[in-house]
Structure 1
Amino acid sequence: MIQANTTTIRQVVTKADRKAFVELPFRLYAQDHAWVPPLKDESMGLITPGKNPFFEHAKAQLFLAERNGKIVGRISASVDYAWTSMPADRGGGTDSGNWGYLDAEDQDVARLLIVSAEDWLRDEGVRRAIGPISMSIWEEPGLLIRGHDQPPTVMMGHDDKRYEAWVEAAGYVKVKDLHTWELDIRLPFPKLIQRIISSGEKNPRIRIRKVNKKRFADEAAIILTILNDAWSDNWGFVPFTESEIAFAGKKMKPIIFNDLVRIAELDGEPVAFMMTWPDLNEFQTDLNGDLFPFGFIKLLWRLNGGFSGKPKVKTMRVPLMGVVKRLQASRMASQLAFMMIEYIRRAAVADFGSKRGEIGWILEDNQGMNSIAESINCEINKTYRIYEKRLLGE
């Protein structure tokens, strides 16, 4: 436990502590019109061992800052053994650990929280602290440093703009930027891209198909196989475990629609995929994080588009996209990508009434994906930064 003046940093131990951890942002961001209240039950599950399979290969400690009987900050510290087994040049290494979920009323509180997380990490043998990662790379990685005026899309984070200076003042330096790209999906793509798509449509070797949600487990297995191959050399990539696949599938299934997820086949073999979600955040902004007593009914009604079965939503997010490694340096890779993007764009506008797309996150040095985004007239709308710091020994 750390005490400074009237501020105490203590470990989260009880269910009441976890509840306070989840509820703090609702007070800190109450006047931030870009912040979207997360669903409290879902947030509680993510930080609870036994509910989130992340804890099957990781250990973590949550901390709360308290001042005069009032919770004024929070942070997590974690060691993900799937992360530490990665090579150091891809973000891992046996001496690495993470912190995340940073929220604080002021810089002094933030400093004490970061010190507490570092002390815990140091005791776990960590000598390189990387953050924020809240808590898995697949949840909310990075600190928002650009785009504070826009609400985040589903499963993306939002931070107080002051945090950037506070984290850097604590000795952290940039290790990687993650970008999201936005575009007006009502507009046709440039003529060159249209010709590439048209050429692909004439190629009998290529088939771009919708997923079949009735065969959800089989389709998910195909997508995960492509993902694990396509992303295997990416910085920060941690393969999903079987438990995490089931956990993610259960969470994502309500926002999976057949015409918004495509699999590309070459000579009958699945070689690429693109997953798109309606922006669930648009439907839950007014729920204030509560599904009961009436939030669940509202959310279900909105997800089903009333009686239509398809929600009407302004924004679509592309969280995942991949092409098998053997094709990544070829023209075929970009052609398949453009075809999937175009087919999903058409469906999003025609069937869901969507106007805007957001692609990401994408690593700043992922030249292939960033080039594709630029080619279809996307612009970077948000940047999330991951930092690192060398921790001195005792």
Structure 2
Amino acid sequence: MTDAKISIETISDKRGRARFVDVGRAFAAKTPNSVPQLRSEQLELVNPDKNPFFGHARAQFFIAHRGGHPVGRISAHIDDLALNMPAEQGFGPGTGMFGYFDAEDKDVTDILIETAETWLRDHGMTRIVGPISLSIWEEPGLLVQGQNHPPMIMMGHHPAEYAGWIEAAGYARAKTLYTYDLDITKEFNPLIRRIVKSGERNDRINVRPVRKDRWDEEADIILSILNDAWSDNWGFVPFTPDEVAYAGKKLKTIIHEDLNMIAEVDGKPVAFMLTFPDINDALTRIDGKLFPFGWLHMLRWLKKPRGSGMRVPLMGVLKEMHNSRLASQLAFMMISYIRVHATGQFESTRGELGWVLDDNQGMVAIAEMIDSEINREYAIYEKPLAS
């Protein structure tokens, strides 16, 4: 196959975005252990009129064709908030991104990546990182280890050969993200149980479930802590008020109060931990289709996701408490309470933590202390863009 046989379609309208989404769905359908997602949700993420990410970002979508058939896709995007972050935190001035990458082979990969690089270079970018689809808060990274089992909610899944094709295009790994697998039927070790009991005797500490009847207020608390707690992390981009409202509305349907905790010290919210039942369990059963009868199964699952895996995608402690004994104590208390509720109320047996940055020593230490093991590894790549 030669490059001359590959053409690139530049997406410019609603129908094009639908084709872009459907190309990704076709690749996912033939990738072992991939989980079919709801098409309506995928369409919304790439719609500038629906996704508030576009309030501070620009994106261009491309589809590769060969012989009249789609053989790959890619996005190129620029996040103005990311441009304003310090360069040492991963993004910074001149840094554009690519995402939503799928390709039939290396030839297609080369053309797609060259197309994304050209678009970013033409828009003044001097460096490219990815894959990040589209926001760092959505599906960051390329799966490089862990293809032998399905992903949990809001985690990407990619064929093993993608890594080699991207690296052959001149990309080096900028950051590694881990997810950790945990058997939640097992009691935590005696040390952690003592730490939790000590916290329960401390009158200054109150660890409580979120309240769904005032969810908008709770979401504001959680995301304000998140913006503070993660502000020095690699890849951090702050949530905007519109994104806070959007995320809160989206998350409400999968929030169960006893699976999500806010920790208070002296009456002030200082930490949180979110836990989502793995909706991929339900999506697998309905093949990602709500009609004709998938919606009924989904409603039942949302009400009581019995036996589903549980993923902790986000937790945070205010920066003023980082590296303190109290911070880790609050984390262990929240994890412990959530484990009890997940196994008791929902009959869950498995949990997953992450993603976790490979150099986040605090979170890595917590994951190791509760005897969890790395089960998936994601890579974010980078490359300078020559002028």
> Which range, TM-score by smaller chain?
over 0.9
Equivalent residues in 2 for 1:58-69 (5 A)?
58-69=57-68
The equivalent of 1:350 in structure 2 is: 344
Contact 2:283 2:289 (8 Å CA) reproduced: no
Q: Does 221-230 or 288-297 show the bigger shift?
A: 288-297
Query: For residues 159 and 23 of structure 2, what CA distance do their matches in structure 1 show?
Result: 13
In structure 2, list runs of 5 or more residues that go unmatched.
Answer: none
Given the superposition, is the C-alpha separation of residues 237 and 144 from structure 1 closer, same or farther in structure 2, using an over 3 Å criterion? Answer: same
Q: SS of the counterpart of 2:356?
A: strand
Query: For residues 193 and 95 of structure 1, what CA distance do their matches in structure 2 show?
Result: 45
The equivalent of 2:375 in structure 1 is: 381
Equivalent residues in 2 for 1:58-207 (5 A)?
58-207=57-206
The equivalent of 2:332 in structure 1 is: 338
Query: For residues 193 and 282 of structure 1, what CA distance do their matches in structure 2 show?
Result: 30
Offset from partner CA, 1:163-185 (integer Å, 9 cap, x none) = 00000000000110011011100
Contact 1:181 1:380 (8 Å CA) reproduced: yes
Equivalent residues in 2 for 1:220-231 (5 A)?
220-231=219-230
Q: Is 1:315 the counterpart of 2:306 in the alignment?
A: no
Question: 1:29 Cα deviation (Å)?
Answer: 3.3
Offset from partner CA, 1:120-141 (integer Å, 9 cap, x none) = 0000111110000101001100
Contact 1:318 1:360 (8 Å CA) reproduced: yes
Question: 1:24 Cα deviation (Å)?
Answer: 1.7
Query: For residues 26 and 49 of structure 1, what CA distance do their matches in structure 2 show?
Result: 20
Q: Is 1:326 the counterpart of 2:320 in the alignment?
A: yes
Question: 1:387 Cα deviation (Å)?
Answer: 0.5
Question: 1:26 Cα deviation (Å)?
Answer: 3.1
Contact 1:278 1:313 (8 Å CA) reproduced: no
Q: Name the aligned partner's letter for residue 313 of structure 2.
A: P
Q: SS of the counterpart of 1:274?
A: strand
The equivalent of 2:360 in structure 1 is: 366
Query: For residues 117 and 173 of structure 1, what CA distance do their matches in structure 2 show?
Result: 17
Q: Does 26-35 or 332-341 show the bigger shift?
A: 26-35
The equivalent of 2:261 in structure 1 is: 262
Query: For residues 292 and 314 of structure 1, what CA distance do their matches in structure 2 show?
Result: 22
Q: SS of the counterpart of 2:298?
A: helix
Query: For residues 214 and 69 of structure 2, what CA distance do their matches in structure 1 show?
Result: 49
Q: TM-score, structure 2 length as denominator?
A: 0.98
Question: 1:206 Cα deviation (Å)?
Answer: 0.9
Question: 1:285 Cα deviation (Å)?
Answer: 1.1
Query: For residues 217 and 124 of structure 1, what CA distance do their matches in structure 2 show?
Result: 37
Offset from partner CA, 1:3-47 (integer Å, 9 cap, x none) = 932210121123222122111233323343310011101000101
Query: For residues 231 and 204 of structure 1, what CA distance do their matches in structure 2 show?
Result: 27
Contact 1:282 1:313 (8 Å CA) reproduced: no
Q: SS of the counterpart of 1:54?
A: helix
Q: SS of the counterpart of 1:255?
A: coil
Q: SS of the counterpart of 1:349?
A: helix
Query: For residues 265 and 217 of structure 2, what CA distance do their matches in structure 1 show?
Result: 18
Contact 1:147 1:382 (8 Å CA) reproduced: yes
Q: SS of the counterpart of 2:312?
A: strand
Q: Is 1:34 the counterpart of 2:33 in the alignment?
A: yes
The equivalent of 1:235 in structure 2 is: 234
Query: For residues 209 and 29 of structure 2, what CA distance do their matches in structure 1 show?
Result: 40
Contact 2:259 2:341 (8 Å CA) reproduced: yes
Query: For residues 119 and 306 of structure 2, what CA distance do their matches in structure 1 show?
Result: 46
Contact 2:31 2:158 (8 Å CA) reproduced: no
The equivalent of 1:300 in structure 2 is: 299
Offset from partner CA, 1:122-162 (integer Å, 9 cap, x none) = 00111110000101001100000010111111110000110
In structure 1, list runs of 5 or more residues that go unmatched.
Answer: 305-309
Query: For residues 199 and 150 of structure 1, what CA distance do their matches in structure 2 show?
Result: 38
Query: For residues 322 and 78 of structure 1, what CA distance do their matches in structure 2 show?
Result: 28
Contact 2:83 2:93 (8 Å CA) reproduced: yes
Q: Name the aligned partner's letter for residue 196 of structure 1.
A: I
Contact 1:130 1:387 (8 Å CA) reproduced: yes
Question: 1:116 Cα deviation (Å)?
Answer: 0.2
Q: TM-score, structure 1 length as denominator?
A: 0.96
Contact 1:8 1:65 (8 Å CA) reproduced: yes
Q: Name the aligned partner's letter for residue 50 of structure 2.
A: K
Query: For residues 7 and 79 of structure 1, what CA distance do their matches in structure 2 show?
Result: 25
Q: Name the aligned partner's letter for residue 275 of structure 1.
A: L
The equivalent of 2:287 in structure 1 is: 288
Query: For residues 242 and 295 of structure 2, what CA distance do their matches in structure 1 show?
Result: 25
Contact 2:310 2:350 (8 Å CA) reproduced: yes
Offset from partner CA, 1:75-98 (integer Å, 9 cap, x none) = 000000011110000012221000
Contact 2:63 2:72 (8 Å CA) reproduced: yes
Q: SS of the counterpart of 1:83?
A: helix
The runs of at least 4 consecutive aligned structure 1 residues that moved more than 6 Å come to: none
The equivalent of 1:390 in structure 2 is: 384
Q: Name the aligned partner's letter for residue 173 of structure 1.
A: A
CA-based RMSD: 1.1
Contact 2:3 2:107 (8 Å CA) reproduced: no
Query: For residues 43 and 186 of structure 1, what CA distance do their matches in structure 2 show?
Result: 34
User: How many residue pairs get matched?
Assistant: 386
Q: SS of the counterpart of 1:78?
A: strand
Q: Percent identity?
A: 55
